[in-house]
């Protein structure tokens, strides 16, 4: 009997008195269960804070209804009303205010874009698109494009409305891009053959002429193992037509079939 009492004392570390009548012995099993309960509560608290659910729930209880959602993220200082598209618990949102007037008084503004603001944004977008459209009334140079069966070009666009700025247009062969057209000055560094070329590192050679007698040149650069050719091109009054091809005959044929591009039409 004494042995049983001794084993019973070893299992009990201490007791928790709930009332004068009941006492609960704290064992290893009970401590393990309590640790799981505490860990679960901490996980719920962490998830709630991380997802914004807990602050939202606290704001709902305090306001006795759905609170105003405010956001300081990226210094936006905006608020959402219940029913707005983006109204929901969020990690970067707070729910301190119960009325729209309180949020406004604190310096927040509505996140809903007005119809006037939407119209202004649409007009600005249309103006940018118009500014990029090629027009002879905006620029003082001509653009030449190749006109040959099997080849096509993109719509010509302008990055800026200035006569000395580059224009870009891609040349395609059966849908595959093989070159580009861009406006450039005679001393432009992108010009296929500039006077500053180092003969030891790069050089150009004439491979043919177009219908007007202009030189069509191939560009070579010294690589690790040997000389390599990357580009073929011709320059016409500041317009550079540059191809990526190893076929000299095709390049000469294509660059000899050039016409003026104006207002979306080939003259």
Those residues of the chain that have pLDDT short of 70 are: 1-28, 30-52, 74-75, 136, 140, 159-165, 185-191, 194-197, 263-267
- For residues 66 and 83, give the distance between their C-alpha atoms in angstroms, rounded to a whole number: 10
- For residues 192 and 217, give the distance between their C-alpha atoms in angstroms, rounded to a whole number: 8
| Pair (148, 243) in one structural domain | yes
| Pair (106, 149) in one structural domain | no
Which pLDDT does position 165 carry in this prediction?
61
Which pLDDT does position 50 carry in this prediction?
47
Which pLDDT does position 249 carry in this prediction?
92
| Pair (259, 200) in one structural domain | yes
- Report the first-to-last Cα separation within the chain, whole angstroms: 117
User: For residue 136, is it within any domain?
Assistant: no
| Pair (152, 258) in one structural domain | yes
User: For residue 132, is it within any domain?
Assistant: no
Which pLDDT does position 252 carry in this prediction?
92
| Pair (153, 260) in one structural domain | yes
The total number of structural domains that make up the chain: 2
| Pair (187, 74) in one structural domain | no
User: For residue 159, is it within any domain?
Assistant: yes
Which pLDDT does position 77 carry in this prediction?
83
User: For residue 162, is it within any domain?
Assistant: yes
| Pair (187, 104) in one structural domain | no
User: For residue 4, is it within any domain?
Assistant: no
Residues counted in the chain: 267
User: For residue 125, is it within any domain?
Assistant: no
| Pair (240, 147) in one structural domain | yes
| Pair (174, 97) in one structural domain | no
Query: How much of the chain, in percent, has pLDDT values that exceed 90?
Result: 4
Considering only the C-alpha atoms of the chain, give the largest distance between any 2 of them, rounded to a whole number of Å: 121
Q: If you ran DSSP here, which 8-state letter would residue 73 be given?
A: G
Which pLDDT does position 124 carry in this prediction?
84
| Pair (260, 174) in one structural domain | yes
The boundaries of the domain holding residue 18 are 13-110
User: For residue 194, is it within any domain?
Assistant: yes
Listed as own residue / partner, the contacts of 125-133 with beta carbons closer than 8 Å and 24 or more positions apart are: 131/158, 131/161, 132/157, 132/158, 132/159, 133/157, 133/158
């Amino acid at each position: 009997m004494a042995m049983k009492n001794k084993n019973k004392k070893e299992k009990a570390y201490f007791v928790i008195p709930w009332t004068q009548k009941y006492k609960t012995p704290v064992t290893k099993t009970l401590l393990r269960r309590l640790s799981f309960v505490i860990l679960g509560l901490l996980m719920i608290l962490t998830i709630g804070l991380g997802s914004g659910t807990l602050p939202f729930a606290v704001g709902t209880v305090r306001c006795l209804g759905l609170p105003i959602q405010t956001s300081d993220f990226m210094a936006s200082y905006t608020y959402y009303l219940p029913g707005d598209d983006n109204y929901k618990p969020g990690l970067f949102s707070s729910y301190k205010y119960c009325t729209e007037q309180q949020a406004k008084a604190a310096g927040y503004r509505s996140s809903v874009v007005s119809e006037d603001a939407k119209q202004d944004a649409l007009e600005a977008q249309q103006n940018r698109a118009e500014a990029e459209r090629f027009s002879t009334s905006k620029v003082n140079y001509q653009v030449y494009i190749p006109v040959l069966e099997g080849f096509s070009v993109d719509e010509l666009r302008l990055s800026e409305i200035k006569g000395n700025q580059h224009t870009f247009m891609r040349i395609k062969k059966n849908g595959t891009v093989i070159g580009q057209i861009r406006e450039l000055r005679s001393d432009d560094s992108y010009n296929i053959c500039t006077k500053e070329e180092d003969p030891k590192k790069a050089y150009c050679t004439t491979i043919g002429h177009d219908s007007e007698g202009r030189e069509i040149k191939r560009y070579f650069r010294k690589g690790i193992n040997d000389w390599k050719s990357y580009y073929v091109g011709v320059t016409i009054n500041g317009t550079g037509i540059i191809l990526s091809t190893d076929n000299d005959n095709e390049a000469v044929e294509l660059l000899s079939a050039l016409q003026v591009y104006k207002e979306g039409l080939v003259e």
